[in-house]
Chains A and B, each alone.
Chain A
Amino acid sequence: MKKLLDFFFGTVTFEINSTDAEKALNILHGNMIYMKKMPKKDCEKFSFTVAKSNRRKAECLLDKSGIKVYSIRRRGLPFAVMKYKKRYGIFVGFAIFCFLLYLSQQIVWEIDFSGNENISDIEVERQLLEVGFGVGSYIPNVDFYTLSNEFIMSSDDFSFISVNMEGTKAHVELRERKKKDEKTEYAASNIVAKYGGIIESMTVYSGQTVIEKESVVKEGDLLVSGFVEKTSGFDIVRSQGSVYAYVTREFEVEIPFEKNVKKYTGKGQNNIDLIFFGRKFNLKKGIDGSFEAYDEYTDVERLVLFDRIKLPLVLSKTTAKEYEANKGILNENEAKKQAEKEMSRILADELFDSEILERKTTEEITEKSYKLKCSIYCISDIACEKEILLSQKTDNKN
């Protein structure tokens, strides 16, 4: 610690004749100049060190007492600074360095997300950028309370957000919004048949069943009634349950041989923006809207120094690629593959909860298109809830 203080405040070492050592020390001590580092060597010279602030006084006293000073060595930061007094660039550079260091602590360098299970970090970061917060944002300008409110109001995916700053790293805690079942809840309803078929089994939670197992029903037939008979009168309830039946379902996919194909011309234009301090600075504006038809892509990349240090700078590159809409002709194989792919997708959507018993596929090729027909014999839930509309009856008293 003493060495550190000596370095910061500066020290001066005097070298005098050994024979004058005691006299010099007593004179200085008597004038309240305190000394350190006084090695007595068995030689002609004797040195001692005083603080920089006492240098002139010490020199004056030694001079007055006739003690010859052989050399003076100056050590410490004050002397080093004086040496470069006229080198303004060093001081300006140092000041700029200190300023940049201070400034770098006022911006967000990194964001860490937690609580988002179904939404990716990139998507959350994009949503945060829309409300004005991201890597490179100026922290003193961010009102975190307003930011949280604006984010919740603008986002459909999250019901809670908390942004906490730890130095220059932002910790974002999120809670995803639980989406309500889209099924409408009716006050009173019947269950009717979605498709025609033979009843295989029923699971009814509420309502009165009007059909039996192995009954043949057609589309629209009543399966479970919302009117439940009681000993005195009846109740009107919401019918709930599942009714499984053997049904035959038909699906058809048609793929025309002629279709619009995008053919990229190879021409492209770019816009490059630098996002820093929460603002976009346009570096290059290449997209001028001269293309008749084009696709636009945006790539966002965080700048990294030496492959390790992530800078709070984001480079956004928007590319516009020109294309020509041409008529493309598909051959039979290609159309067939597309049709099969589309059919698989439809079957997966429609029959995800059905047990497929038999499948028949037919294809039909015309001049203009390829048709793929699929007939599926399966056990499927045919229950479809239909609302019972209740109206108030008013008594007209004359």
Chain B
Amino acid sequence: MKNIIYRTLSSLSEKTELPLTDICREFAIHTTGRREVIIEGADNLKKYETNEIIIGVCGGYISVFGNGLEIKSFQKYSLCIRGDINRIEFGEGGQK
């Protein structure tokens, strides 16, 4: 249900060219090289391992793979991951 709402709002945002970031809480990823990732719009933490971290976001989840991964801070809507990052994957739906 949440996914359907998210897709509807995203397509509406594209067509109207209006930012709907606040309503649908779309996530944003900022990376600094391959050592730091800041994910804005993080809802919850699904998995936390040193080689894989899965974060739940609006409309899906984000998987971060690497070595020595560590969550530096988990604030209101942002989460900071540091370590040796190999790849970032996006997934739709609920839990993986």
Which chain A residues have a beta carbon within 8 Å of chain B's beta carbons?
21-22, 25-26, 29-30, 32, 34-42
List the A side residues contacting B44 at CB < 8 Å: 26, 29-30
Shortest CB-to-CB span from B29 to chain A, Å, is 18
Shortest CB-to-CB span from A43 to chain B, Å, is 11
**Cα separation A21 to B74 with both chains bound (whole Å):** 13
Q: Is the interface of B mostly helix, strand, loop or mixed?
A: strand
Shortest CB-to-CB span from A326 to chain B, Å, is 94
Q: From B45, B49, B72, B75, give the contact of A26 (CB < 8 A).
A: B45
List the B side residues contacting A25 at CB < 8 Å: 45, 48, 71, 74
List the A side residues contacting B72 at CB < 8 Å: 36-38
List the B side residues contacting A36 at CB < 8 Å: 72-74
Which chain B residues have a beta carbon within 8 Å of chain A's beta carbons?
44-50, 69-76
Shortest CB-to-CB span from A267 to chain B, Å, is 82
Shortest CB-to-CB span from B81 to chain A, Å, is 10
List the B side residues contacting A32 at CB < 8 Å: 76
Q: Are A35 and B74 in contact (CB under 8 A)?
A: yes
**Cα separation A36 to B74 with both chains bound (whole Å):** 6
Q: Are B73 and A35 in contact (CB under 8 A)?
A: yes
Shortest CB-to-CB span from A227 to chain B, Å, is 105
Q: Are B74 and A40 in contact (CB under 8 A)?
A: no
**Cα separation A25 to B74 with both chains bound (whole Å):** 8
Question: Which 3 pairs, one residue from A and one from B, show the smallest C-beta to C-beta distance?
Answer: A36-B73, A38-B71, A26-B44
**Cα separation A134 to B59 with both chains bound (whole Å):** 77
Shortest CB-to-CB span from B75 to chain A, Å, is 5
Query: A42 and B74 in contact (CB under 8 A), knowing A22-B45, A26-B44, A29-B44?
Result: no
**Cα separation A36 to B48 with both chains bound (whole Å):** 14
Q: From B46, B71, B73, give the contact of A40 (CB < 8 A).
A: B71
Q: Are B49 and A40 in contact (CB under 8 A)?
A: yes
**Cα separation A37 to B6 with both chains bound (whole Å):** 32
List the B side residues contacting A38 at CB < 8 Å: 48, 70-72, 74
Closest A residue to B79 using CB positions: A29
Shortest CB-to-CB span from A250 to chain B, Å, is 104
Q: Are A34 and B74 in contact (CB under 8 A)?
A: yes
Q: From B46, B70, B74, give the contact of A29 (CB < 8 A).
A: B74
List the B side residues contacting A30 at CB < 8 Å: 44
**Cα separation A21 to B71 with both chains bound (whole Å):** 12
List the B side residues contacting A22 at CB < 8 Å: 45-48
Q: Are B45 and A29 in contact (CB under 8 A)?
A: yes
Shortest CB-to-CB span from A124 to chain B, Å, is 63
List the B side residues contacting A39 at CB < 8 Å: 70
List the A side residues contacting B73 at CB < 8 Å: 34-36
Q: Are B48 and A21 in contact (CB under 8 A)?
A: yes
List the A side residues contacting B46 at CB < 8 Å: 22
Closest B residue to A21 using CB positions: B48
Shortest CB-to-CB span from A110 to chain B, Å, is 50
**Cα separation A383 to B68 with both chains bound (whole Å):** 107
